[in-house]
Amino acid sequence: MLERPLPDLAAWAQCFRDMPIPVQAATAEELALMAQVEALRSDIDADQLSDPVGSDPLMALKLMAKAASLRRGRFDDDSGDGPETVTAALVLMGIGPFFRHFSELTTVEALLADRPDALAGLRRVIHRAHRAANFSLGFAVHRMDEDAPVVHLAALLHDFAEMLLWCHAPDLALQIAQRQRDTPSLRSAALQEEILHVTLADLQQSLMHAWALPDLLARITNDAQAEHPQVRSVALGIRLARHTEDERGWDNPAVPDDLKAIGELLSLSPVATSELVRAIDA
C-alpha cells in the first residue's frame, strides 16, 4: 500500500502498471464457476463471458489491457487499433486462454480486508460508474450512435484511476474524499494535484497509453475533448451520476444544469429529458 504520494505522473503511472488490478470477489467467484463448466463441456462463448467481465469495471480494465498486450505481441502494433469492447477482446484472446490467464484473481475484498473504510469508498465509485455507464449508454442509443457499446465501456472505465487509488493508496484516497466532503466547492483536479502531485485524469490517460488501450476508448474518456458528442455522452453521464449519488439525490441543485445540457445534446425538451434519465436510472 502506498502511504505517501509519488513525485510525478511518470512515477504514478509506472507504479500502477506494476501493481495487480484486483477484481470484485463476486466476479472472481462467477468466473471460477464458468471455468469449471468450460473444463467439462467447452461450451462457454464470448457473449456469455462478457456479462460477468463487463459488469465489473476493474475486470473489464484487466481484460482490455491484456487483450491490447496480446495484439501488440501478435502484430507488433502499438497503434491503439485493438478491440474496443469486452466481447471483441474476449474473441481476440480466446475462451481457453482467458480462463488460463485469469485463473488466479486478486480480489478487492482480500486486498482491503483490513480497510473497510477504503472498501466502502471503492464500492461507491464502482456503483457510480455503473450508473454513469447506464446513463451514457442511454444517451448514445438515443443519438443512434453505432459505437454505443464503446460509449458504455468508456463510461464504466472513466474513473478507473480513482478505483486503483482506493485499492493501492487508500489513505490518500480517503484524504481526498474527506477534503471534498469538508469543502464541496474545491475543484477535484486542484485537490488531486495538491495531495497526489498529479490529476487522476492525467494518470488515467497515461495508463491507457501505456497499456495501448484502443484510441477510440481513450478519446471518449478524455474530458479535454468535451465537445465531441460521444465524449459529452460520457461526461454528462458521469456528471449526473456524481450529482445524484449523495443524500440529496435528484434534489441536488446541480441537477437542473445537467438536465439542460443533456437535453441540448439529445435535442429533447426539459420534460422529455427528465423522463428519459429517470427511466434509465429506474
Nine-digit cell string for 210: 501505456
Looking at the fold, whether 14 and 104 belong to one and the same domain comes out as yes
Q: What is the mean pLDDT of residues 254-261?
A: 95
pLDDT tens column, 201-225 = 999 999 999 999 988 888 888 877 7
Query: Is pLDDT at 80 greater than 60 in this prediction?
Result: no
Q: Is 2 helix (H, G, I), strand (E, B) or coil?
A: coil
In a domain, 21, yes or no: yes
Q: How far apart are CA 166 and CA 57, in angstroms?
A: 14
Count of domains in the chain? 2
Domain boundary among 92, 108, 124: 108
Q: What is the CATH number of the domain that holds 257?
A: 1.10.3210.10
How does the average pLDDT of the chain come out, rounded? Answer: 92
Nearest to 83 by CA among 46, 116, 111: 46
Residues 33 and 89 in one domain: yes
Give the mean model confidence (pLDDT) for residues 71-79. Answer: 62
Q: Given this model, what pLDDT does residue 246 score?
A: 80
CB 270 within 8 A of CB 262: no
pTM passes above 0.75: yes
Q: Are 148 and 61 in the same domain?
A: no
Q: Above pLDDT 90, what percent of the chain?
A: 81
> Where among 108, 125, 160 does a domain terminate?
108
- Supply the range of the domain harboring residue 276: 112-281
What is the reported pLDDT for 184? 81
91 and 15 within one domain: yes
Question: What's the rounded mean pLDDT across residues 49-65?
Answer: 96
73, 89, 108 — which closes off a domain? Answer: 108
Distance CA 222, CA 21 (A): 21
Same domain, 157 and 256: yes
Cell of 25: 470477489
pLDDT in tens, 129-159: 999 999 999 999 999 999 999 999 999 999 9
Q: Per the domain annotation, does 206 fall within a domain?
A: yes
